[in-house]
Amino acid sequence: MRAMVSALRVSCGRRRMPLTLAVTSLFLVWIAPVRPGVVLGDSMAPSFRNGQVFLMWRVRDRSQIEQGEVVVFQVRGERYLKRVRATAGQSVWGVESDDLEGVPDVIVSHPEAERVRLVARERPGMGRVVNITVPPGHVFVVGDAERNSYDSRHFGPVPLKAVQGRVVAPHLFSLWSPRRAGTSVVIAGAPEAKIGG
């Protein structure tokens, strides 16, 4: 009888082992400060390509995010990967076309802004130079491939509370994935989110 009970315990223990490992692995991915992600789209090219796998460090103190860092954030239910162009209190200069008022088509540096302003006066159809000051608690993000990027020029400065992490290992390896416009990300262990460009 003891041998049967002992054999039954060993048998049940072996069945629980894979389940225990799976639950433990999922728990560790959920609480781990580093998560893998996959780039979907080319708006961050050439730095990040479609299908590229990267590591994201989850951000605890969002006030430490700096200009030039690549961050993962969520806006309007979609997750994105973009570079921080300006932080709270900093200015972003851009050229706004006449047909898209309030949305700068091209971002320019402060020294270039004055030259562009002079050219825009001579050629009225070119648009006008605008200055956007990032409000407190926000960052202004732009894709590296500006012409192919849906970013702060379209949805405005991103609240720091929407930033989920910063990219710490930008290129682990690449996967094949379908071609998509923009750059969005899939994060392992993250709650399901609508993925967009």
CA end-to-end distance (rounded Å), the chain: 64
State the average pLDDT for the chain: 77
How remote is the C-alpha of 124 from its chain's centroid?
Answer: 36
Q: What pLDDT score does 142 carry?
A: 93
Calculate mean pLDDT across residues 31-35.
77
Q: What pLDDT score does 194 carry?
A: 42
Please report, rounded to a whole number, the percentage of residues in the chain having pLDDT higher than 90: 24
Q: Which of 20-29, 68-77, 118-127 has the highest mean pLDDT?
A: 68-77
Q: What pLDDT score does 82 carry?
A: 95
User: H or E element: which one contains 83?
Assistant: strand 78-87
Q: What pLDDT score does 151 carry?
A: 92
Q: What pLDDT score does 4 carry?
A: 46
**What tokens were used for 2?**
């003891």
Please identify which residue in the block is written with the tokens 């991103």. 158
**What tokens were used for 118?**
């002079």
Q: How crowded is residue 91: how many other Cβ atoms within 10 Å of its Cβ?
A: 12
Peptide bond into 46 cis (omega under 30): yes
pLDDT digits (tens, 9 = 90+) for 45-75: 888 888 888 889 888 888 889 999 999 999 9
Q: Label residue 130 exposed, middle or buried (CB < 10 Å: 0-12, 13-18, 19+).
A: middle
Structure pTM?
A: 0.71
Residue with the bigger pLDDT between 51 and 169: it is 51
Residue with the bigger pLDDT between 98 and 160: it is 160
Task: Indicate the pLDDT class of residue 100, thresholds 50, 70 and 90.
Answer: low
Task: Indicate the pLDDT class of residue 129, thresholds 50, 70 and 90.
Answer: confident
Asked if residue 48 lies in contact with residue 39, where contact means CB atoms within 8 angstroms, the answer is: yes
Of 9-23, 64-78, 98-112, 132-146, minimum mean pLDDT range: 9-23
Task: Indicate the pLDDT class of residue 7, thresholds 50, 70 and 90.
Answer: very low
- Cα–Cα distance, 75 to 59 (Å, whole number): 16
pLDDT at 180 over 80: no
Dihedral sign, Cα of residue 110, residue 115, residue 116, residue 121: positive
CA atoms within 13 A on the CB side of 106: 14
Calculate mean pLDDT across residues 122-145.
87
For residue 109, which phi and psi values (nearest 5 degrees)? Answer: -75, 165
Asked if residue 94 lies in contact with residue 151, where contact means CB atoms within 8 angstroms, the answer is: no
